[in-house]
Amino acid sequence: MISQVFILSSKGDHLIYKDFRGEAGKDAVNKFYEMVTALTGGQPPVVMKHKELHFVHIRQGGLYWVATTKADASPFTIIEFLNRLTALVKDYCGCLSEKSVQMNFALIYELLDEVVDFGYIQTTSTDILKNFIQTEAVSSKPFSLFDLSNVGLFGADTQQNKVAPSAAATRPIVSSQGEQGGKNEIFVDVIERMSVVIGANGVLMKADIEGEIRVKCYMPSCSEMRIGLNEEFSIGKSQLSVSLPPPSLLSGYGAAVRVDECSFHQAVRLDEFDTYRILKVCPSQGEQTVMQYQLCDDLPTAPPFRLFPSIERDSGGRLLMYLKLRCDLPPKSAAINVSITIPVPKGSLRLSQELSSPDQSAELQPKNKAVHWEIPRFPGGAQLSALFKLEVSGLSAASLQEVGPVSLNFELPKYTSTGLQIRFLRLSPIQPGPSQRWVRYVTHSDSYTIRI
């Protein structure tokens, strides 16, 4: 049972405060801010306790979203609820920011009133809520498709009329219907997160992918959407019994795509899934995750990056690190925003570097005992190298052990590591007027570690 819900800015300003049960005072808000800012890194921030009151909070959009309770409530419920609440606010207000929350406080109060009653969560579905919500959203930033200044930076091979900027999906769902004349759009994201551990000997020790298909729908009249996945899509461990029969009806072209486990949104109907790999969704307005999947330890392709390090001490008492990094993506793909962190021995003083191309950069961060190497764009099949010379005070044989493991952060746009693709997106009934359907693919590094 939720006792209060409040939203604070990162500076502790009260943006929204709602008391549902009248069992705790408003001073809880300041107490929370005091406690959360006093937390040290090691303390779990998830559940905090002050006298009889328990705080559960998340941070989204730079804001604190907090719920309090006095009972032995479920933190899972509360965290899930807060996540949904942020999603709702995002759906209704367009984006999450201090400004948008401030501008739409009346709407958010109205939402909260419908979503929670006496601390019991009622519903978080936009479909149901749209019957009750009266207040119109106010958008913080006028949206224009002409605001395409960032198009073409990396997407040289794409044409403008085939690309919408990310900002297209950050507008309120409701406003699009009213006076805006209804802009019928559907955005579909296939997002994968990759965790990889590569051992010092180059052996792949662990490789997991977590993926999801997210739909953001701006169509008020869409009753059914059919999402076609790869025909050769299978679920279950390869040697174990496959929970679905192999799709024999499907013709055998295209690479097989396999995941270990799959879960679907409540609203997804799977009657055509077994035979045709089609998800039937009745999308609510707003954003929702229709499918989540996981793949463990059995990537269909090689991991995207390999590192060939050689680390030694030179005669002048410096530490030499020669790193060759190879990108094993297909030549048409590329990784962007690659950032590599190499832990170095404590007492590292200065860094001199030789990098293989001018757009790369590297710096020593003595506070974190690490060297950061940034590569803005890294095409598939390419190999880059860097030579770092470190002056380390008190360099010893044991210092070499302090180097590593190397961790990488990157994005792989237009690429899914499982190979999952969306064949088609059909809407029914046929939408009156022009409708637009957008799909994007992206793989992120979650935790990509290479040991040395």
Q: Which pair of structure tokens corresponds to residue 107?
A: 């709407």
3-class state of residue 275 by DSSP: helix
- 304 neighbors 335 (Cβ within 8 angstroms): yes
The distance of closest approach from Cβ of residue 380 to another protein in the complex, given in angstroms and rounded to an integer, is 17
> Distance between the two ends of the chain, CA-based, in angstroms?
49
Cα 42 from Cα 101, distance rounded (Å): 30
Contacts to another protein from residues 75-104, by CB under 8 A? 75-77, 79-81, 83, 99, 102-104
Q: Is 266 one of the binding residues for another protein (CB under 8 A)?
A: yes
Is 264 a residue that touches another protein (CB under 8 A)?
A: yes
Sheet holding 318-327, edge to edge: 305-313, 318-327, 383-392, 348-355
Least CB distance to another protein at residue 248 (A): 25
Q: Which of 374, 410, 392 is nearest to 321 (CA)?
A: 392
By rule CB under 8 A, what count of residues binds another protein? 131
- Residue 444 binding another protein, by CB under 8 A: yes
149 belongs to the binding site for another protein (CB under 8 A):
no
Rule CB under 8 A: is residue 242 a binding residue for another protein?
no
Per CB under 8 A, 284 contacts another protein: no
List the one residue out of 165, 219, 227 whose CA is nearest residue 190.
227
Measured between alpha carbons, how far is 416 from 397 in angstroms, rounded to an integer?
42
Q: Is 120 in the site for another protein (CB under 8 A)?
A: yes
Does residue 138 bind another protein (CB under 8 A)?
A: yes
Q: Give yes or no for residue 436 binding another protein (CB under 8 A).
A: yes
Residues 391-430 that bind another protein (CB under 8 A): 398, 401-402, 404-405, 407, 411, 413-414, 424-425
Rg of the Cα atoms in the chain: 25
Minimum distance from residue 354 beta carbon to another protein (Å): 26
Q: Please say whether the beta carbons of 402 and 311 come within 8 A.
A: no
Determine the interface stretch with another protein among 109-117, 236-244, 309-317, 324-332 (rule: CB under 8 A).
Answer: 109-117
Q: Is residue 235 at the binding interface for another protein, with CB under 8 A as the rule? A: no
**DSSP-assigned letters across all residues of 280-313:** EE-PPSEEEEEEEEEEES--SS--SEEEEEEEEE
Residues 205-224 that bind another protein (CB under 8 A): 206, 210
Site for another protein in 285-324 (CB under 8 A): 289, 292, 294, 296-297
